[in-house]
Amino acid sequence: MFENVPMAPPDSILGITEAFNKDTNPRKINLSVGVYKDESGKTPILACVKAAEKKLLETEGSKSYLPIDGMPQYDKLVQEMIFAPQSPLLTAGRVATSQTPSGTAAVRVAADYLHKLFPKATVWMSDPTWPNHPQIFAAAGVATKSYPYFDKVTNGLAFEKMLAALGQIPGGDVVLLHGCCHNPSGIDPTAEQWQAIARVLAQRGVLPLVDFAYQGFGLGLQEDAAGVRALAAQCPEMLVATSYSKNFGLYSERVGSLSVVAATSQAAQAAQSQIKAVIRANYSNPPAHGGAIVATILADPALKAQWEQELAAMRNRILGMRKSFVQTLKAKGVQADFSFIARQTGMFSFSGLSKDQVERLKKEFSIYIVGNGRINVAGMTPGNMDALCTAIAAVL
Ligand code: LMR
């Protein structure tokens, strides 16, 4: 049966790291996958995570299965982080949350749920979006279309075009939005623009599905939630997928969540029962360790304060690298205006480099970035900045 199985193409993001690992050039630089690195080029384990793990080692009493939708304490703390502790949504019981193996599983569970309950719904994605989004919906059998998002001329948000397109989407369809730190463009709507987006979706009866993988990596934990909270205030129903890979540095622990918001507590419980059925047939129930770390940190005021400090340090280091990248390119004699890179938020910069230039960076300089020109700014360090900008100046 397997003799004639064709080779699948490498993944457009994770496949680059596979190629990077095979490269023998000692000066190689990997700025493809969205993983944070510190000044020395290491992906650190946060001190608050180590402290939580020590606590868990002493207190953990069982490795029995978690419930299908994960630890209730984790789900509650996550809801408070997304919607704010005093949110009327939470007091009214309109939100039900499942702990999931990170954001990818959360989006996949959402896709399976939509396919099962609303098989005619199309999911509308931003152009561009994270390359795994279309793959996930295709795997779940969900139809997808796209709406304009990025304006190549201004290197900003194509807001008018986006809003006009959203205003044409039929009620009962789904719009996938990036909660903050849009991947790959690094361009987010402002708080006012989020209000306008929420208004249009509410008017049309379109369901928002928010992929919220970078809370705290853009402007701050509360600021980055402006979009989700604007949608939650205006739209009676929505789905929110989160990931704690980046903001807690828990990449390999696979920890995230899927929240369903419904108009009533009863409707939220019914939706949650369907989501649990989807999870049971997929991975049964989530792994415990990552969720236990997040819950331990969020429930302990001292650990939480420490986490917020460590998160701010990561965010500020990325901002510093953005500025340094723009300045170093200029110092290398690059004429093109890259100042927009300092205005983008989150891990990524949409550099505008062409496919050929990306290929030359790899072949001639062993510098690996994603084919669409996305550079992981969180992987830049004072140690690799000069080599990186020299190479970019050469291919430009
Ligand atoms: C990325 O876009 O690089 C990250 O979200 C990691 C991934 O799984 O692709």
- CATH number of the domain at 14-45+315-395, out of 3.90.1150.10, 2.102.10.10, 3.40.50.1370, 1.10.10.410? 3.90.1150.10
pLDDT attached to residue 76: 98
- The residue ranges of every structural domain in the chain are 14-45+315-395, 65-299
How far separated are the first and last CA of the chain, in Å rounded?
48
Three state DSSP letters for 60-71: CCCCCCCCCCCC
Atom of ligand 1 lying closest to residue 104 CA: 8
What CA–CA distances, in Å, run from 378 to 36, 98, 381? 5, 29, 8
Q: Which of 28, 37, 246, 276 is catalytic?
A: 246
- The distance from CA 57 to its chain's CA centroid, rounded to whole angstroms, is 29
> What does the pLDDT average to over 98-106?
98
> What does the pLDDT average to over 343-363?
93
Distance CA 228, CA 157 (A): 18
Distance CA 34, CA 14 (A): 10
Say what percent of the chain tops pLDDT 70: 100
Atom of ligand 1 lying closest to residue 32 CA: 3
pLDDT attached to residue 54: 98
DSSP letter at 120 equals T
**How far, in Å, is the centroid of ligand 1 from the Cα of 205?**
30
211 catalytic, yes or no? yes
Q: Whose CA is nearest to atom 1 of ligand 1?
A: 34
pLDDT attached to residue 101: 98
Q: How many residues does the chain have?
A: 396
pLDDT attached to residue 373: 92
Q: Whose CA is nearest to atom 5 of ligand 1?
A: 34
Residue ranges around ligand 1 (CB below 6 Å):
13, 33-34, 130, 132, 183
Q: Which of 124, 130, 194, 307 is catalytic?
A: 130
CB burial readout 172-190, b (16+ within 10 A) else e = ebbbbbbbbbbbbbbbbbe
337 catalytic, yes or no? no
Give per-residue pLDDT as tens, 212-222: 999 999 999 99
Give per-residue pLDDT as tens, 237-268: 999 999 999 999 999 999 999 999 999 999 99
DSSP letter at 252 equals G
Copy the structure tokens of residue 272.
Answer: 């949650």
Copy the structure tokens of residue 229.
Answer: 């909270």
Distance CA 98, CA 71 (A): 8
Residue 175 β-bridge partners = 124, 208
**How far, in Å, is the centroid of ligand 1 from the Cα of 13?**
7
130 catalytic, yes or no? yes
**How far, in Å, is the centroid of ligand 1 from the Cα of 304?**
25
The CATH class of 65-299 is alpha beta
Hey, which of 126, 130, 136 would you mutate to test ligand 1's pocket, going by the most ligand atoms within 8 Å of its Cβ?
Answer: 130
SS3 157: strand
Distance CA 212, CA 351 (A): 23
SS3 342: helix
pLDDT attached to residue 134: 98
Kindly report the pTM of this predicted structure.
Answer: 0.97
SS3 215: coil
